[in-house]
Amino acid sequence: MKNFLLSWLVFSPIVVSGWRRLETKEKRLRLVIFLSLGALLWAGTFWGLWRVLTYFRGIESFGDLLAWRLLDMVFLTFLGLLTFSNMVSGFSAFYLSQDLELLFSLPIPIANVYRAKLSETLVASSWMVLFFGTPVFLVYGVVYEAPWEYYGLLVLGIIPFLVIPGCVGVALVMTLARVFRAKRARDAVMAFAITCGVGMYLLLRFLQPERLVDPETFSGVLGYLVSLNAPRHPLLPSNWMVQVVAPSLFRRPGEEVFFLAMLWSTASAFVVMGTWWAQAVYATGWSKAQEGKGARGRPWRLIETLVEKASGIFPENMRPFVVKDAVSFFRDASQWSQLLLLGALVIVYLYNFAAMPLEKAPIDSWYLKNLMAFLNLGLAGFVVAAVAVRFVFPAVSLERGAFWLVKSSPLDLKSFLWAKFWASVIPLVVLSELLVVISNALLKVSPFMMVLSSCTIFLASFGLTGLGVGMGAMYPRFKVENVANISSGMGGLLYMILAVGFMGAMVVLEGLPVYIFFYSRFSGQAPGPWAYFLAGLCLAVAFVLMILAFWYPMKRGVQALEEYEI
């Protein structure tokens, strides 16, 4: 009991400061907006999965097996995500938090620090899975008219299910921090965690889950059923979790009590073993992480030289910012390691187009391919917006505490902000063109669609960058402790909404020219002058919209920075 109280005392400042963050009216409003958007997302997940499960339930003989298999995949994905996310949050909580110096100077046993930091890590890593998991579990319960035991067992099982990957992730982090030298530990943990995440993501995608709903790919119904019944790895907690909830859900005999005991006993044992491991390695690892031996990594020197040379294309007053930002990016493992995630995203995105069975479709494949290319424009825009919210929106806030240097220098803030714009727009244009041109080439679309798509995404990248840099300046977060949190605030959220709206408007405005193109192909008639006029008008409006999207936020961003008081 005394130990528990001590651990709680160590953990309580985090709870109290979290509560204090809601004290102002603006912050409560922000919470309301977040919750409303969350509710919307929840409703969407619920509706989509409800349709899928209702369809499964309608399939006689093996519909339940499909739903069972899907549940298996859901828990396996959650397990992987939790381990990955616990590693990232665990490293921040255990090695980077500002309260650690105080904690290590107090007469508190390591075991209590470990338990408090583990709790912090679990909360930081698990809420997302709980948030997205809840509608999934609820819709299963609703569609299969689950009895109350299902919900009870779910709650009882989910707690240890969250604790297990938490303990594993933290233990891995502590081991890496103990093994690697000083500041290299951080790079090693980030790179390892992100490589695991990327690996899992690629694996899941290349397993082609869509084949589950395409029985043709199996040699026969029997093979299909056998594959569905194939035993899952008995040592995976995700499998135990399924064994806890599935029997009551699908009304089949099972050993839920045994698997529940497995989950709880494993979680408890992992907490105890984690405490032992922390007592053995944590203090030494933390001490090593303070040592200042980190120098520039050799592999990056070539990139740094290239960046310096390439910066020659920028005006003189912007060059120092471009070089400084690029060099800092490649020296910060928490920044560059995200390129691995981005790489995986691009590979899977393009793979989806390569694997698309358009030839099997019952309608004309020319029409379908070009329609796909048009829809791809919106999708690529959405992907680019998601990338921009992570890389472009934080560009200003990444100055962090050192913004005083910019603000007190005679350099005008307009040049500063435009330097951020140009440094962001070039990689974003490369990424967006890569996505659109290669996917269009894979689809073998018509030259008209290829030109239209690549021009549109080129212009849209300017709009998305201007919007991101400008809004990042309007909603700066210079004081944020973890750079990953910069885009999770009110400004990031607003940017995402506006960016998606902007891309939606661009796609809608280009709908008419595309329709005219399709119509002339099918009817065999050349479009009349009015059609050309309307199409031209839509394209002109889209162009004006793009100009507005990057010029106006940039203008407001400069004003906001001029008004900003440090």
Partner 1 sequence: MIELVELSKNYGAFQALKEINLHVREGEIFGFLGPNGAGKTTTIKIMAGLMKPTSGRARIAGYDICKEPTKAKAQIGLVPDRPFLYEKLTAREFLKFVGTIRGMGASDLEAQMEGLLHTFGLESWADKLIENFSHGMKQRLVMCAALLHRPKVLIVDEPMVGLDPKAARLVKEIFRKESQKGVSIFMSTHTLEVAQEMCHRVAILDRGRIVAQGTAEELAAMTGQFKADLEEVFLRLTTEEEDESS
Provide the minimum distance between the beta carbon of 565 and partner 1 in the complex, in angstroms, as a whole number: 4
Whether 13 and 103 have beta carbons less than 8 Å apart is answered as: no
Q: In whole angstroms, what is the distance from residue 291 CA to residue 183 CA?
A: 7
Q: In whole angstroms, what is the distance from residue 527 CA to residue 530 CA?
A: 8
Give the chain's radius of gyration (CA, Å).
Answer: 26
Q: Which is nearer to partner 1, 61 or 408 (CB)?
A: 408
Provide the minimum distance between the beta carbon of 290 and partner 1 in the complex, in angstroms, as a whole number: 10
Q: In whole angstroms, what is the distance from residue 509 CA to residue 487 CA?
A: 29
The number of C-alpha atoms within 13 Å of 229 and in the hemisphere containing its C-beta is 8
Whether 160 and 267 have beta carbons less than 8 Å apart is answered as: yes
Provide the minimum distance between the beta carbon of 325 and partner 1 in the complex, in angstroms, as a whole number: 9
Provide the minimum distance between the beta carbon of 289 and partner 1 in the complex, in angstroms, as a whole number: 12
Q: In whole angstroms, what is the distance from residue 457 CA to residue 498 CA?
A: 16
Where residue 294 falls (left for φ over 0; alpha for ψ -120 to 50; beta otherwise) is: beta
End-to-end CA distance of the chain: 45
Cα–Cα distance list, 132 to 36, 38, 253 (Å): 14, 9, 28
Provide the minimum distance between the beta carbon of 564 and partner 1 in the complex, in angstroms, as a whole number: 9
Provide the minimum distance between the beta carbon of 320 and partner 1 in the complex, in angstroms, as a whole number: 4
Token pair listed for 471: 């809004």
Show Cβ contacts of residue 348 under 8 Å, excluding neighbours closer than 6 positions: 201, 202, 205
Provide the minimum distance between the beta carbon of 542 and partner 1 in the complex, in angstroms, as a whole number: 37
Q: Which is nearer to partner 1, 136 or 326 (CB)?
A: 326
Q: Which is nearer to partner 1, 327 or 434 (CB)?
A: 327
Q: Which is nearer to partner 1, 431 or 469 (CB)?
A: 469
Q: Which is nearer to partner 1, 142 or 182 (CB)?
A: 182
Q: Which residues sit at the interface with partner 1, rule CB under 8 A?
A: 183, 292-296, 317, 319-321, 323-324, 327-328, 331-332, 400-402, 404-412, 563, 565-566
In 3-state terms, what secondary structure has residue 99? coil
Q: Which is nearer to partner 1, 14 or 323 (CB)?
A: 323
Q: Which is nearer to partner 1, 364 or 412 (CB)?
A: 412
Query: Please, what sign has the CA dihedral across residues 254, 133, 47, 383?
Result: negative
Provide the minimum distance between the beta carbon of 44 and partner 1 in the complex, in angstroms, as a whole number: 39
Q: Which is nearer to partner 1, 111 or 560 (CB)?
A: 560
Task: Please state the length of the chain.
Answer: 566
